[in-house]
Structure 1
Amino acid sequence: MKQNRPRIHGARRRRTRIRRPGDPRPGRRAALAITAVLLIVVTAPANSTGTTAAPTTLRAPALPGSGDGRPSCTLTPGEDVQLSEGIPTGPGYSRSTGPVHALTLMIDFPDVRGQGTARQRFEEFFPRTTRWFARSSYGRLDYRPATPVDRWLRMPRSFRSYGIERGSAFEPGYRRLVRDIARTADPLVDFRRYDLVNVLITPNAGPPAAETVLSVTFAGNLEAPVADGVRLANISFIYSRQDDGTGSFATNGYRVLPHENGHVFGLPDLYTADGGHKVGHWDVMSEDWGAGNDLLAWHKWKLGWLTPDQVDCAARAGDSTYTLRPLGRPGGGTKLVFVPVSASAGYTVEVRTDEGNDESVCKPGVLISWVDARLDSGKGPITVMDSTPRSRGCTEEPNVHQGLSDATFTRGESLHDARNGIHITVTGQDGGGGRRIRVTRQASDDGR
């Protein structure tokens, strides 16, 4: 992973048009990094069979090990991938467990004065963001926002002079802005006390979020300006208000900040140039507007929010059975089963219900996803396997990719990957809401 250039995330995100029932289905782009085409067959009771588009991978002759003979639930990132789904996360990002101190500054400009008070801007995001992280991490992330400057911090230059627009690079505009923030705040702030920086920009600077999303994160930036001897390497900028016109910002618009902070912790964007069609509303790194949603289990594992005893790795040939506990529910039990296919790709299996941050789940069940650590942020590193690829979904929420809302697998439904000899079946449910699954693997060419 390259460390000599800023990692820019979020700037290319756009509010995508949601396909309504009856609308023509958008054309699908060619798959990235094609090495082989798999046929994934979703089997179910007789009245609900179907097939879905396949991820791409090579069948690997051997899988990574933990060093003690057990298979490893990790992935090796691809070459020249800046922000990967690989585990462990590379250096340069903020820690994502324990106390994390988030410096939060509200800024305005001589030509764009603060809209409302700085405290009101702060309260658009807190304490909701803190509570979101507490629920999602099961208390393993103690997110502590601090706003030592409880007023608009006026920049020395006009907003126009920074030349900021959608997709702006760090040079030169953001470098100039970060330097001005550091110089202006320096008499009032000890930057050494903080792990990351949030910059909440007066919402009247730039276009509305419904038109263009400017919010952006620069993570692991070893070329960033220095303040108090600390390099401002992990910094998120939040613009506008993520309001879809229904007043939803009051309860859900704050989630643009958990999304941007996800980059600071090392998570990639899951949306692509076509929008959130690969993951939909199953992860805030794909869609962070509309009704509430959480992170995928793989991301919680990557962030250290799942413990090793909550993750099983189904790498051995033959049948393996597991009972998965709902991801949104605190407490122990297995929350993730990983089915590795190669050193850099595999399937994740988890249970999603309308608990915790997942208030919008309309079809509780087993969610199966394809993770490819060779694909960079914004290039589709995760694809949710849709158990009902021909359906229009089960939600009326206007800001959710509806076709994936009913992607979960239920009792009797299976995913079959013929090329890699993998069969994943939901076999039942226990009284506590846990789902039982069976993973069947054929032996590989070397007998594993």
Structure 2
Amino acid sequence: MKSLAIAVMVFTALTLTSPAPSRAGAGDAGSGGAAAEGETDGRPPSGPCALPGVTRQVSEAARTPPGFARSHGTVRAVTLFVDFPDVPAEGTPQERYAEFFPAVADFYRASSYGRLDYRSTPLPRWIRMARPYASYGIERGASFDAGGGNGYHALSREILAAADGEVDFRDYDLVNVLVTPNAGPPATEDVRSVTFAGAPTGLTTGDGVPFQNVSFIWSRQTGNSPYRVLNHENGHAFGLPDLYYTSGLTGRTRTPVGHWDPMDEDWGPSNDFLAWHKWKLGWLAPDQVHCLTGPGTRTLTLTPTSVAGGAKLAVVPLSRTRAVTLEARAPGPLDHTVCRPGVLVSTVATDVASGDGPVRTSDATPGSAGCYTTDPNVNARLSDAPYVAGQRCLAPGVSVKVLGQDADGRWRVSVTVRPRILGAGSPAAVSRRSSAGGPG
């Protein structure tokens, strides 16, 4: 849910609004064609659509800063198990492990189209902490501060002392700590799972490597795919931010992306990553991404993220740090809740912090109660957010019209970029033009 920042930069908060649905008519012209699936070696995105970041912590920047775990190719995790003298584990490590594996590895393999081979190795015994659970002062937002002698620093010191003789941490990219689920409140009352990623925690293993990119999983999530809390936490280790609001809601939608990405809603039924995240994580080849920087109208074809192959993402930069993204979503192995297939339109901002809504999904049906209303873990109002044939979406300097589907289930869209958007300068200028945008 949170990650350890390398550095903190103070930035003026700007309102990020999602593009607004529109019924305005306009002619279609031009053709961009569809990109074919190509190969990718996991290199980070490049080019004018690869928005830069403004901090070295988790963000929507196309390039993830050093220190985070790689997210392409073979990635190895070591999984450890912890209980307490006053809260002994009620099951075996193997039972706790089976709550997450092989499901987590299978999810990442499917979402990455086979480009992330996630391998977990368990140390199949409970590591008993030295003190009672409450004495560590673990609560939501607890830090890794070494000064107090409590919190995650104290837990981790004991974990390393117990595991260092059996685990060569040089062999692993990620560390997963599965705490006995009877320690602490249930997840329905207080979600405490957390990741410390991107920077050394101040601890070094006996093998001489920093103890970092470590996820602690508490309690049990609800819903029919509770393992997804680890998908979310490992997403932080790969450099992805929280999409939901973590504080200061002030009447805004708590989940501005809804169930369209597990970095927003990781409870309940399964959901796949946004195409922007797939590009950031190295899972899309360059020719699977349309980068629209010049003025004019282009007709594009997008293949749903739930199937392999084809173009997956269109990006229209609004400024140095903001862009409108388009992707097609349809029911699939990881997208269980898609009840209105279509084109999902979002605004991405690399200058908005994790937990402050760095991505905003436009709702094609504002005021609707949604089409997936049977699970309280799903933001029902955004479940029918995709745009379908005949609908238009407006953003500052950009107009999107959905033309329809072809026989293979691909979605055709017409995107018009107006000249006034070119060279859009500061984020503040974009924010002013966005202030009359859609629901936020």
Q: TM-score per shorter chain, which class? A: 0.7 to 0.9
Output the CA distance in 2 between the equivalents of 1:423 and 1:129.
38
- In the alignment, which of 93, 97, 101 is matched to residue 126 of structure 1? 101
Name the CA distance, whole Å, in 1 between partners of 2:296 and 2:368.
33
Q: Aligned-pair distance for 1:291?
A: 1.1
Q: Pick from 419, 428, 440 the counterpart of residue 443 of structure 1.
A: 419
- Residue 116 of structure 1 aligns with an amino acid whose one-letter code is G
**Could you say which residue in structure 1 is the equivalent of 2:210?**
231
1:7–1:219: 8 Å Cα contact kept in structure 2?
no
| Mean CA deviation greater in 222-231 or 380-389 | 222-231
Aligned residues: 388
CA distance in 1, matches of 2:18, 2:157: 52
Q: Which amino acid aligns with 1:143?
A: Y
Deviation by residue 1:281-309 (Cα, 9 ceiling, x = unmatched): 10000000111101100000000011111
State the Cα distance separating 1:230 from its structure 2 match: 1.0
Cα distance, 1:363–1:182 mapped onto 2, change above 3 Å = same
Deviation by residue 1:200-255 (Cα, 9 ceiling, x = unmatched): 00001110000000100000122331111110111000000112xxxx3xx40010
The two structures have a TM-score, normalised by structure 1, of 0.82
Q: CA deviation at 1:43?
A: 2.3
| Deviations 1:157-209, CA, capped at 9 Å, x for gaps | 22222111111111141111111111111121111111110000000111000
Q: 1:285 to 1:7 in 2, by over 3 A?
A: farther
Partner SS, residue 87 of structure 2: coil
The alignment partner of 2:420 has SS state of coil
**Residue 94 in 1 paired to residue 73 in 2?**
no
Partner of 1:240: 219
1:342 alignment counterpart: 319
C-alpha distance in structure 1 between counterparts of 2:359 and 2:17, whole Å: 16
For residues 17 and 173 of structure 2, the distance between their equivalents in structure 1, rounded to whole angstroms, comes to 43
Classify 1:34/1:193 alpha carbon distance in 2 versus 1 (closer, same or farther; 3 Å): closer
Change (3 A) 1:40 1:143: closer
Alpha-carbon deviations, 1:237-283, whole Å to 9, x = none? 0000112xxxx3xx400100000000000000000034743111100
Q: Which amino acid aligns with 1:34?
A: L
What per-residue deviation string (whole Å, max 9, x for no partner) do you get for residues 66-125 of structure 1? xxxx962211213x4622101111111000011111000011111110121111000000
Give, in whole Å, the separation in 1 of the partners of 2:257 and 2:17: 19
- Match for 1:151: what amino acid? R
2:235 pairs, out of 262, 267, 273, with 262
Determine helix, strand or coil for the equivalent of 1:444. Answer: helix
Aligned to 1:205: 183
1:430 corresponding residue in structure 2: 406
**Residues in 1 aligned to 2:127 and 2:61: alpha-carbon distance in whole angstroms:** 38
Distance in structure 1 (CA, Å) of the matches to 2:421 and 2:196: 44
**In 1, are the aligned partners of 2:20 and 2:363 still within 8 Å (CA)?**
no
Q: 1:369 to 1:260 in 2, by over 3 A?
A: same
Q: Which residue of 1 aligns with 2:127?
A: 153
2 CA distance for matches of 1:71 and 1:120?
46
- 2: CA distance between counterparts of 1:310 and 1:39? 24
Secondary structure class of the residue paired with 1:329 = coil
Deviations along 1:378-399, one digit per CA (max 9) or x if unpaired, are 0110000000111110012221
Q: Mean Cα displacement is larger for which, 130-139 or 216-225?
A: 216-225
The equivalent position to 2:14 in structure 1, one of 5, 12, 34, is: 34
SS at match of 1:230: coil
Cα distance in 2 for residues equivalent to 1:443 and 1:429 = 29
Letter in 1 for 2:381: G
The equivalent residue for 1:49 is: none
Equivalences for 1:15-54 in 2 at 5 Å? Answer: 33-34=13-14, 40-44=19-23
Counterpart-to-counterpart distance in 1, 2:316 and 2:111: 23
- Residue 297 of structure 1 contacts residue 336 of structure 1 at CA under 8 Å; is this kept in 2? yes
How far the C-alpha of 1:445 sits from its partner, in A, is 7.5
Check conservation: 1:45, 1:412, Cα contact below 8 A.
Answer: no
Q: Which runs of 5+ in 2 are unaligned?
A: 26-45, 425-440
Deviation at 1:310? Answer: 0.4
Q: Could you tell me how far 1:45 is from its partner in structure 2? A: 9.5
Question: Is the CA contact (8 Å cut-off) linking 1:75 and 1:87 kept in structure 2?
Answer: yes
The Cα of 1:359 is off from its aligned counterpart by: 1.0
Contact 1:345 1:373 in 2 (8 A): yes
CA distance in 2, matches of 1:4, 1:116: 31
Structure 1 unpaired stretches of 5+: 9-31, 47-69
- The residue aligned with 2:346 is 369
User: What does residue range 22-421 of structure 1 map to in structure 2 within 5 Å?
Assistant: 33-34=13-14, 40-44=19-23, 72-78=48-54, 80=55, 82-147=57-122, 149-172=123-146, 173-227=151-205, 228-243=207-222, 248=223, 251-272=224-245, 273=247, 274=249, 276-330=254-308, 332-396=309-373, 397-417=375-395, 420-421=396-397
More moved, 428-437 vs 215-224: 215-224
SS of corresponding position for 2:125? coil
Tell me the C-alpha RMSD between the 2 structures. Answer: 2.3
Give the letter for the 1:239 counterpart: W
Letter in 2 for 1:431: A
- Measure how far apart 1:39 and its partner are: 9.3
Q: 1:6 to 1:446 in 2, by over 3 A?
A: closer
* Percent of residue pairs bearing the same amino acid type: 49
Verify the 8 A CA contact 1:155 1:184 in the aligned structure 2: no
Cα distance change on mapping 1:40 and 1:304 into 2, 3 Å: closer
8 Å contact kept, 1:6–1:170: no
Query: What displacement does 1:156 show?
Result: 2.2
Give the distance between the partners of 1:91 and 1:75, measured in 2 at CA: 16
Partner of 2:157: helix, strand, or coil? helix
Structure 2 equivalent of residue 63 of structure 1: none
Q: How far, CA to CA, are the matches of 1:313 and 1:102 in structure 2?
A: 34
Q: Which amino acid aligns with 2:210?
A: R
The secondary structure found in structure 1 opposite 2:227 is helix
